[in-house]
Amino acid sequence: MSNANPEFLSPHSEIAKLIRNKDWSYNPIGRTNLWSPVLKSALIIISNSKLPILLFWGNELVVFYNDTFLEILNSSDKEKFSFGQPFKNILNKEWEFIGPILKNILLHGNTVLHQNQLFEVFLGEKRNISYTINFNPVNDELGKTTGITVTFIATSGNEKKKLTKNIERYSATQSVREFRKIVADSSIPIAILRGPHHIIENVNSAMFQTVFQKERKGILGKKLIDVFPNMRNQKYPDLLDEVFKSGHIKKEKESEVYVQYEGDRYKLYFDFEFTPLLESDGRTSGIMVIIYDVTEKVEVRKKAEDAEERATLAAEIAEIATWDLNLQTHQLIHSASLSTTFGYQPSVKMSYVQMLEHIESADLTDIVDKAFEEAMNTGYYKYIVRIHKADGEARWIKSHGKIFMDDSGEPLKMIGTILDITNEREREDLLLGREQKFRMLADSVPQLIWTADSQGNLNYFNLSVYKYTGLTESDMSQGGLLSLIHKDDRDQFMELWADAIAAGTDLLIEHRLLNVKGQYRWHLSHASAQKDILGNIQIWVGTSHDIQNQKTFTHELEKQVQERTTELVTKNGDLVKMNIELRSFAYVSSHDLQEPLRKIQMFISRLDDTEEDAFTENAKEYFTRIKVAANRMQTLIVDLLDYSRTNTLDKIFTNTNLEDLAKEVVNDYKEIIEDKKAVIELFDLCEVKGIPFQLRQLFSNLIGNSLKFTRKGVLPHIIIRSSHIKEKEIKEKSENPERNYCHICFSDNGIGFETEYETRIFEIFRRLHDNVEFKGTGIGLAIVKKIVENHEGIITAKGMKGKGAQFDVYIPEL
């Protein structure tokens, strides 16, 4: 039988003729169109070698050899070496010796070297020829050894000369020309590098198209490293040097290589084979480079591996067990987590029957068998059943699967998952129990209670709703409750309900609802969304509370309040008028009282000047008492006028520098201060917005009090300081805790007072001391408090008898 000429070999070579003339139909390695690229590459290498090479291929060690090997055989040798036959069939006697060596190389992929070995090893005849025989493995794309090359290098003198002569003759005639043609015509990417610097001698079209991707004329005759400078920092220059020096083949599968294309750097994957080209004397003259670009295959595989890894990881994280059941043999393949689901160690392999034995018998009959029958029709298999683990623990599992059929529609296998859902089932039971309790509780209360799903569709009503409305479940399912809302309230209710659903906020609305008696009663409806931990609405729970009585009561109350308010406004107006009249009366009265008092004081003064000597001693004493009483009356009237002015004058607030104001008051008391040798200290008084003359009155009254109520033998010492303070530091309950105040502190070392008077000291006409030693009217501190109140401030007092007093004034910073 004649085959087409193998495109990867020269048609004129002996090996190509042998391949072409042999029937490969029943050969262990099959027809030539089915041969792997690795076998074709190996045949190219041996066919172009100047050394005798045998190639054994596959588990049967089918024999190939090159033209040079034929040169060392005689006619009888050639008859024994039947091309394309298993080695064991050709040289069965020699198999006992050489067979184990070859089998060991196939198994372990090692290299074997025999030096100065007589050729009888293969031919079984003693001949005066010795060789160095090199056994090298040939690996496929997966790194598995599928072939062996045996290279013969003659070491005996006569045979070496004969072989050298034949090789030289052959080379001189056609080997170089044919070798180049083979390389050029081959569909396998091949490049020939010469010399220790790896000069590019020849590159075929397949290599240009798939790997080099450069102009041919721009690279031939140049160093490989100069054409591909980005290789300098990669391993390949060193590997080529190693092959050139050692003369040994170097191969790798899916080797990473970084290349530069049009300015961009890419990572590719190559299967490569660096084969030394040996001269007749065994010296390496070049390297044949065979490269397969397997980038696409590797990337697809890596993506598949990555996807598989992610799927496996996801299954492990989700604690999902996977299984693959052969429906014809019932052989079960499963993940380790399936064993743990049923209570076994991960390493335990379970059978399909064993897995079914763990399923609750009732569930096996009622659920699993029916699920299998349904799967035969739909192609999908799913069920939830109870199981008993190896230790007897009861659990719930959920199984999903898919059935795969052959071309004839017969079921082949089923692939699926198993998930332990016990915790989920227990949560569902717990929620169901809670729901039942909720409904029982809801039916026992008089309020109308209802629920809705996340979209706002009403789905539950308690017993009170049915009693109030008189509707049935069928009526409710058709939107009956919403139809009972008063027509004037319905649009607003629906609008607010839609807004609440969209925003996930509470619904709160008052509306009228028709009852079973045909009466509309006011209700307050309130609905809240129940959300999960992610904030997603799970359910709405609403109540509608009858507020008709409150509405009636509120309406009546509002009516009464309006009437009282009208009455109060009228009375307030009358009161304002009375206050104005009263203040006017007090002011006018005070002025009118001063007129007769001035006349009394004038006559007292004249009597004092002209008639003093005519008075008896008793008359003088009475006269002195009259004069003191008149002066006290005048002081009282003046204080009353000041107190009245704090209420009646316009309250015009301006920025007031308290330090300047305090200095003015101190200057007013200059004579008293000098007389008593008093010390007054001012520290960092702030600026406030206030009524200047009232604040001056405040300072005057407080400083005057400190100068008045002094202790005998103790020089008066008055300290006035201020600071800024928050309202929350003053009041326990504050409406505006961050409001700023100016805190003014007046302290002295005077006579002080009992702590029981700390609040009563500001009452008008309140005197804590006798009028003989300490003159006064008891109005001064009342005026101070009134001024502070005019500024919406606070004043407190504290003291200790015989130790001094302290007044704290807080004025808001407006």
Distance CA 662, CA 728 (A): 28
Q: What is the pLDDT of residue 172?
A: 40
pLDDT in tens, 36-50: 888 888 888 888 777
Beta strands (DSSP E) in 305-409 are: 320-326, 332-334, 380-388, 394-405
Q: Which residues pair with 546 in a beta bridge?
A: 523
Residues 6 or more apart in contact with residue 63 via CB below 8 angstroms: 54, 55, 56, 81, 82, 83, 84, 85, 86, 87, 90
Answer whether residue 251 shows pLDDT above 90: no
Radius of gyration (Cα) for the chain, nearest Å? Answer: 58
The most confident of the ranges 41-45, 228-232, 277-281, 496-500 is 496-500
Q: What is the pLDDT of residue 95?
A: 65
pLDDT in tens, 410-447: 888 888 888 888 888 888 778 777 777 777 777 777 88
- Using 50, 70 and 90 to split pLDDT, how confident is the model at 769? very low
Residues 503-531, mean pLDDT to the nearest whole number: 91
Q: What is the pLDDT of residue 121?
A: 45
Higher-pLDDT residue of 385, 216: 385
Residues 6 or more apart in contact with residue 324 via CB below 8 angstroms: 332, 333, 334, 413, 414, 415
Same CATH fold assignment for domains 189-299 and 649-812 = no
Superfamily of domain 649-812 in the CATH hierarchy: Histidine kinase-like ATPase, C-terminal domain (3.30.565.10)
Residues 197-219, mean pLDDT to the nearest whole number: 77
Q: Which CATH number fits domain 318-420: 3.30.450.20, 2.30.130.60, 3.60.15.10, 3.20.20.60?
A: 3.30.450.20
Residues 758-783, mean pLDDT to the nearest whole number: 63
Residues 721-727, mean pLDDT to the nearest whole number: 92
Top-level class of domain 426-546: alpha beta
Answer whether residue 314 shows pLDDT above 60: no
CATH topology of domain 189-299: Beta-Lactamase (3.30.450)
Joined together, the tokens standing for residue 676 give: 């008593």
The CATH number that domain 14-183 falls under is 3.30.450.20
Closest CA to 501 of 513, 493, 510, 489: 493
- Using 50, 70 and 90 to split pLDDT, how confident is the model at 471? confident
pLDDT in tens, 63-76: 888 888 877 776 66
Q: What is the pLDDT of residue 388?
A: 92
CA dihedral 502, 507, 510, 514 (to 10 degrees): 80
- Using 50, 70 and 90 to split pLDDT, how confident is the model at 500? very high
This prediction's pTM: 0.33
Q: What is the pLDDT of residue 469?
A: 87
- What amino acid is encoded at 108 in this protein? H
Residues 568-591, mean pLDDT to the nearest whole number: 68
Return the DSSP state at 125: S
Domain assignments of the chain as residue spans, ordered by start: 14-183, 189-299, 318-420, 426-546, 552-625, 649-812
| 764 burial level (CB within 10 Å; 0-12, 13-18, 19+) | middle
Q: Which of 84-98, 509-523, 675-689 has the lowest mean pLDDT?
A: 84-98
Distance CA 106, CA 144 (A): 8
Q: Which of 207-216, 339-348, 497-506, 732-741 has the lowest mean pLDDT?
A: 207-216
Q: What is the pLDDT of residue 524?
A: 93
- Using 50, 70 and 90 to split pLDDT, how confident is the model at 92? low
